[in-house]
Structure 1
Amino acid sequence: MSERKFQQASSSTAGFFQSFPTLPPAFNADQTGATSDDIALARILNLYIPQGSSVVYKSIHDLSRRALHPSILDHSTDAEVNTPKLRSLNTFGQENSNDPLWVTEGWKALKAIGQQEGLVASGYDETASWNRRVHQFGLNHVWSSSAAMTGCPASMTDGAAKLLHSHLKDEDGDQPGRSDVLRQAYCRLISCDPAIAWTSGQWMTERSGGSSVSETETIARRLTDEERLHDSAIGKDRDAHGMPLGPWRIDGFKWFSSATDSDMALLLARTEQGLSLFYIPLRRSAGSSDSHGSILNGVRIQRLKNKVGTKQLPTAELELKGARGWLIGQLGKGVREIATILNITRLYTAGGSAAGWGRGLAVCRAYSKTRIVQGKLLEHNHLHVRWMAGETVKYRAAMNLTFFGLALQGTVEQGWDQVVRNTRATSLIPHNKKSAVALLRLITPVLKAQVSVNAVEGLRACMEGLGGVGYCENNEDGGIMNIAKIFRDTLVNPIWEGTVSVMAEDVVRVLFDSRLGNGHIIDEVLSNWVKTNLSLCQSRFPKESELVRHRLDVLISLVRRTGKDELLWRGRELLYHLEAIVSSVVLMYDACSDGDEVSAEIASRYVSNKALPGETLLREGSWHQEALMDQRIFLGTSNRVSAGKL
C-alpha cells in the first residue's frame, strides 16, 4: 500500500504569492511608439493640441513618470497617514496665533512640486500657442492621484488668479494701494517658484446657508481713521510680506474652509450694500509688541473637520475677528465676482474626479495582468474583462465631456484662431465666441455634477475589481494599490462647490438667462452645435446619430413646454439629458477624427447605453467577437495611439 502524500501547508512566508502589479505611466510620448496606458488622455491631447507642440507632450510625459516615483509616493503616504493637527494653545496656555496648524512635510513637498511643475502657472502662460487649459489639466490628470489632495488648494489658487487677473487694471478708488497689492498677489499665485508662490483659500460656506451664500452672516465694515492710525502706530498695518493691509475689518464665522494653510483667501461678507467679495492675506505683521515676525490676520482656527476622505487636506472652521482685507469689485456684487472662481473650481472638481477614476482603472489593468484566479490571469477572464470594458466606456465618456469643457474654457480665454485652428477640433469648438461662452456656461454644472458622481461609482467598481485587496487601505509600497483612498477622496466632489441638486438648479438658471442664446440656449446654441457635429459623424454613425437626435428632441420639447418650477423639479433629469447628448457627440467626433476602430466601438456602446427607453442598437457579431473587443477597450490590446512626439 502506497504512502499517502499530503500537501504542504502555507504560512506567512511560504505558499502562493502573486507578482506585484507594475503600474505604467499614464502618458507616453517618447520615440518608441509605445501606447499610453491612459488611451483617453492620449486621444484628448491629439484632438485639442496641435501636432508638434513638444513642450506640452514632454511636460505631461515627464510628470506622469514623476508621479509614480517612490519619493513622490512616500510624500503622498506621509500626508495620508500623518494628518493635519491643530495646536490652539502654546506651552503656557495662551492662544497660539503664530503657528496653530501643523501639516506634514509630505504635504508641503507635494504642494511645492505642484508649483514647480506649473500646475497652476501653465494655465496663464502667455507664450503658449496651444490650449493652455487642456495642457494644464493634462498635467493635473497624471499628477492628481499622487498629490495627496494638494490639487484642492491649487484649484482655488487658479480660481483666485483668474479673478485677480480680471481686476489688475482697476483703479485704487477709495482704497489707496489696492492695485499694487492685487498685482503682487496675482504674480505669486501663478509663480513656479515655491519660495515666492502662494496658494489661496476660498471661504464662503457658513452654518446658516451651506451651499447658499444668501444667508451669509460674516460682516465687513470700513475701519475708522482712528482705528487705522492705531494699527499703524503699533506696526500692525502690514501683511507678512510688508504689503499694506486693506481698510476693511471682517468679522464672522466660516463653517467649512479648505486649504486652511494657504497664504491668502477670497471670501464673501455682508456690507450695507449687500454681499461683497474681499481679499485677505492669512498673515500680518505681529507688530512691535510681539517677538514673532508675523501672526494670523484676525483668523482663529476653531477646529479641524473629521471627514470621510481628503484627510490630508486641512479643512477647518474659522472665526474671523478683526481680519483686515481689501474689497474686490463693487459693493454688493460679491456673488457675481465669486462666480468667476466657482467656474474654475468646478472644472477642477470634474478633472480631479476623472483623474482619480483613471488611476483606479490603471490599477485594475495592472492587477488583471498579474492576479491568477482559477488557474488563469484575470485578463483572460471574459466576465471580468467585459465588466471592466463597460467601466472604461463610461470613463472615456467622462474624460471627453470634461476636456471638452476645458477646451472651451481655453478657447474663450485665448481665442479660437490661436488655439483651435491648427487642431482636429476645428468643427467641435464653436468659432463664434458668444456660442462658445454659452455652451461652456451650460455644460460646466453638468460635467461638475455628472462626472463627479460617475467617478464615485466607477471607483467603487475598481475597488471591487481587486476583490478584498481593493477594500483595504494599502499604504505599503507607496500606496500605489490604495484605490480605497482615492475612492474616499473622490466622495467629496459631488458635494464640494455645490451639490448635484445645486448644479441642476444652476442649469435651470442658464436656461432662463437672456444673455445666453437670447434666453433660448437649447434651441439657439446646443441644438445647432449638436446638429452641426452629427452631420460630420452621420456616415460613420448613422444609427447612433439618430438616437442622439431623438434625445435632443426630447430635451427641446421638455424645455419648451415646461415652466421653471417644474424644470427645477426635473433638474437631475436635465443633467442626465445634457450629459448623454454632449458626451455622445464628442465621443463620435473623436472616433471620426482618425477612424480608430476601438474609439468607434466605445462611442457606439456609450450611445446605445444612453438610448431612450425602448430604443437601442442591435449588436452584430458573436459574443466571442465582442469579448475580443472588450480586451481592446479595457486592456488597450492592439490599440495604438500616436501621441505627439517629444
Structure 2
Amino acid sequence: MAATHDVTNQVPDLVGHDVAHDPALLESLHRHGAGWAEAELRELGVHAGSAKAQERGRLANENPPNLHTHDRVGHRIDEVEFHPSWHELMEVAVSRGLHAAPWRDERPGAHLARASKLHVWGQVEAGHTCPISMTYAAVPALRHSPELAATYESLLASTRYDPGLGVPAGKSGLIAGMSMTEKQGGSDVRANTTEATPTDSGGHVLVGHKWFTSAPMSDMFLTLAQAPGGLSCFLVPRVLPDGNRNPIRLQRLKNKLGNRSNASAEIEYDGALGWLVGDEGRGVRTIIEMVNNTRLDCVIGAASGMRAGAVRAVHHARHRAAFGSALVDQPLMRNVLADLVVESDAATTIAMRLAAAADRVDDPQEQALRRLGLAVTKYWVCKRGPAHAAEAVECLGGNGYVEDSGMPRVYREAPLLGIWEGSGNVAALDVLRAMAKQPDSVEALFTEIAPVEGADSRLDRAVSEVKKELADFTDAEYRARRVVERMALVLQGAGLVRHGHEAVADAFCASRLEGDGGLAFGTLPVGTDTESIIERARARF
C-alpha cells in the first residue's frame, strides 16, 4: 500500500546552535574593550540555543500571567501568577547579571558586556527582559537619593532571583519596575494627576491611577506623582518596611498584541507610601536617568529581534527547496536574505557602540554622543524592527505564519520597542530637544563620523546632506522624522564603513544612502556579495 503521508522538504528545528555566534556582536565586543566577556557570552549563547531554553520561551508565551485580585474569602491579594517557565527565564537573566551587573562590575566594558548578553538572551524570549531592563535602569535614578541607594542598590545588583512577597531590605535580590504613564497623558507625564502628600515620618502618601505598569510583581517601582513642589519621582515598594502590604491595587492586566509573557497592569495607589527620589519638583529630570537606559535596551531589543529573524530566515532558506533548487541559492531570495542581514548588522553595530559609550561616563565626547545618538537610534532602529520582522516571516512563507515556527512571536514583539520609552514622534522630537539644549551633541555625532571621511563617496554625500538639513531649522518639528532618519543612517553607515564587514558596509551605503535604492527589503544592487553577507547569519551548531 502506498504511503499517504511522507514528510519531505521540511526544515529541521533551529535548536542546539550558539546564538552568540554573531559576527557583528562579537566584533563589537572586542572592538570596544569587552573581549574578556566572550567566554561568558558564548556559554549563554549555547544555552539560549538549547532545546530547554527554547521550550521555556514557548511555554512562557503560551501560558500568559493571570491576575488574582482577591483570595477565596474576599481579601485583596493583588497577585499575578506566572508560569514556572517565566521564573526560569528570569533566573537565568538575573544570575548572568543582565539586570544590573555593570553597577557592581568594575571591569572595563561592563555595560557593553551586559548589552551583548541581553542581545543574545532576548532572542529566547523578549517579554521577561522588560523587568530586567527596568531593574538595570533603576539604579542610576535611585542614586539621586544616596540613602535609598545605600539600602537597595546592592540588592538590585544581586545575582539572586528572589520572587515573591517580602520586605525589600530583607530579600536576597530585588527587581524594580517603572510606573509613570496615566490614561489622560501617556507620554505627556506632566499631565499626571496622581497626588503625593507628605507625611510626618518623611514619606509621601500616593493616591492615583496608573494606566501602564509593566511587571507589577516587581519589588519596588519608580513612579511619578504631583507633590506640593511639583511633579516628583518616588520609590514605592510592594511591601513596606514593617512587613505590611503597600496598598497598590491591580485593577486589570492589559490584553496586549505581543509581549504576552510579561504582565502589564492598570494600578491604583490607594494611599500607598513612597519615598522621594531626587529633588521635589524635578521628577522628570530624575526619571530621565531611567528612561535613557531603558531606551538603550529598546534599541538592543530591536537589534536582537532582527538577528533572530535573519537567522531563522537564513536557516529556513538553506533547508527548503522550491522550483528545483534550495531557496538560499535562488537570486531573488538571496537578495532578500542579504538585505535582512545588512539591517541586522547595522542595528547591532550601533546598539553596541552606544552601549560602549555607557562605559565611558568620564568622557564628555562619549556622553554627548550617547545623548543624541541614543535618541536618533531609538527612533530609527525600533522603527525598522516591524518591517524587518514582517519580511523575515515572509521568507518562511505559510510556515512563518504558524506559531510553531517561532516567527509570529518575533513579529508581535517588534512594534512594542518603537512604543516603549517614547514612540516615534516622541523620540524624533527628543532629538531636536537634545540639539537645542546640548549643541555639543551634534558636534559629537559628526566627530564620530569624521574618521571615515573620504572612505565612501556615498556616505560623504549623505553626511553633507544631513549637515545642510541641520543648518536649516525651518519647520523643524514637521521635518523631524526625515532629519532623524538621515542622521541615523549616516551614523550606522559610518560605523559599518569603519568597522563592519566590507560587503555589508558596501550594501548598506548602496541601498540606504543612495537615492535610487528600492524601499522594500531585497532591493540590493546587482553585484552585491550576497554570499558573504548571508554566511554571517548562518546558525552554528
Question: Which 5+ residue runs of structure 1 have no aligned equivalent?
Answer: 1-6, 29-35, 169-178, 229-245, 288-292, 416-432, 475-480, 592-598, 617-622, 641-646
Kindly indicate whether the alpha-carbon contact (under 8 Å) linking 2:230 and 2:280 is maintained by their aligned counterparts in 1: yes
Query: Is 2:402 aligned against 1:461?
Result: no
The corresponding residue for 2:167 is none
Deviates more, 1:381-390 or 1:369-378: 369-378
Query: Is 2:230 aligned against 1:274?
Result: yes
- For residues 159 and 637 of structure 1, the distance between their equivalents in structure 2, rounded to whole angstroms, comes to 31
The corresponding residue for 1:205 is 181
Which of 69, 88, 111 is 1:133 aligned to?
111
Partner SS for 1:283: coil
- For residues 101 and 198 of structure 2, the distance between their equivalents in structure 1, rounded to whole angstroms, comes to 37
Kindly indicate whether the alpha-carbon contact (under 8 Å) linking 1:75 and 1:106 is maintained by their aligned counterparts in 2: yes
In the TM superposition, what is the alpha-carbon distance from 1:125 to its structure 2 partner?
3.6
- For residues 164 and 569 of structure 1, the distance between their equivalents in structure 2, rounded to whole angstroms, comes to 36
Pair 638,571 (structure 1): closer, same or farther in 2 beyond 3 Å: closer
The corresponding residue for 1:283 is 239
* Residue identity matched to 1:96: R
Per-residue CA deviation, residues 461-520 of structure 1 (Å, 9 max, x unaligned), is: 11111111111111xxxxxx301111101221111110010001100101111x442xxx
The higher radius of gyration belongs to 1
Pair 209,148 (structure 1): closer, same or farther in 2 beyond 3 Å: same
Which of 373, 386, 395 is 1:443 aligned to?
373
Partner SS for 1:321: strand
The corresponding residue for 1:108 is 87
In the TM superposition, what is the alpha-carbon distance from 1:58 to its structure 2 partner?
0.8
Query: Is 2:76 aligned against 1:96?
Result: yes
Pair 615,117 (structure 1): closer, same or farther in 2 beyond 3 Å: closer
Identity %: 26
Per-residue CA deviation, residues 112-166 of structure 1 (Å, 9 max, x unaligned), is: 22111111233224331x3112111111111012135111001110110122235
Pair 457,16 (structure 1): closer, same or farther in 2 beyond 3 Å: same
Question: Which 5+ residue runs of structure 2 have no aligned equivalent?
Answer: 163-171, 519-524
Kindly indicate whether the alpha-carbon contact (under 8 Å) linking 1:631 and 1:637 is maintained by their aligned counterparts in 2: no
Kindly indicate whether the alpha-carbon contact (under 8 Å) linking 2:18 and 2:49 is maintained by their aligned counterparts in 1: no
Pair 15,391 (structure 1): closer, same or farther in 2 beyond 3 Å: closer
TM-score, length-scaled by structure 2: 0.92
* Residue identity matched to 1:63: L
The corresponding residue for 1:388 is 337
Partner SS for 2:224: strand
The corresponding residue for 2:54 is 73
The corresponding residue for 1:183 is 150
In the TM superposition, what is the alpha-carbon distance from 1:222 to its structure 2 partner?
0.7
Partner SS for 1:385: helix
Kindly indicate whether the alpha-carbon contact (under 8 Å) linking 1:505 and 1:571 is maintained by their aligned counterparts in 2: yes
* Residue identity matched to 2:154: C
Kindly indicate whether the alpha-carbon contact (under 8 Å) linking 1:602 and 1:633 is maintained by their aligned counterparts in 2: yes
The corresponding residue for 1:549 is 460
In the TM superposition, what is the alpha-carbon distance from 1:368 to its structure 2 partner?
1.8
Query: Is 2:303 aligned against 1:354?
Result: yes
- How do residues 217-232 of structure 1 correspond to structure 2 at under 5 angstroms? 217-223=193-199, 225=200
Query: Is 2:113 aligned against 1:119?
Result: no
Pair 137,529 (structure 1): closer, same or farther in 2 beyond 3 Å: closer
TM-score, length-scaled by structure 1: 0.77
- How do residues 319-358 of structure 1 correspond to structure 2 at under 5 angstroms? 319-358=268-307
- For residues 143 and 209 of structure 1, the distance between their equivalents in structure 2, rounded to whole angstroms, comes to 33
- How do residues 162-561 of structure 1 correspond to structure 2 at under 5 angstroms? 162-168=140-146, 179=147, 181-195=148-162, 196-223=172-199, 225=200, 247-284=203-240, 294-295=244-245, 297-412=246-361, 415=362, 433-474=363-404, 481-513=405-437, 515-517=438-440, 521-522=441-442, 524-531=443-450, 533-535=451-453, 538=454, 541=455, 544=456, 546-561=457-472
Kindly indicate whether the alpha-carbon contact (under 8 Å) linking 1:199 and 1:262 is maintained by their aligned counterparts in 2: yes
| Count of aligned residue pairs for this structure pair | 525
The corresponding residue for 1:573 is 482
Greater relative contact order, per chain length (Cα 8 Å cut-off, separation 6+): 1
In the TM superposition, what is the alpha-carbon distance from 1:357 to its structure 2 partner?
1.2
- How do residues 563-602 of structure 1 correspond to structure 2 at under 5 angstroms? 563=474, 566-591=475-500, 599-602=501-504
Pair 166,270 (structure 1): closer, same or farther in 2 beyond 3 Å: closer
Kindly indicate whether the alpha-carbon contact (under 8 Å) linking 1:275 and 1:331 is maintained by their aligned counterparts in 2: yes
* Residue identity matched to 1:183: A
Pair 116,607 (structure 1): closer, same or farther in 2 beyond 3 Å: same
* Residue identity matched to 1:527: F
The corresponding residue for 1:424 is none
Kindly indicate whether the alpha-carbon contact (under 8 Å) linking 2:341 and 2:537 is maintained by their aligned counterparts in 1: no
Per-residue CA deviation, residues 392-424 of structure 1 (Å, 9 max, x unaligned), is: 111111111211111112222xx5xxxxxxxxx
Partner SS for 2:319: coil
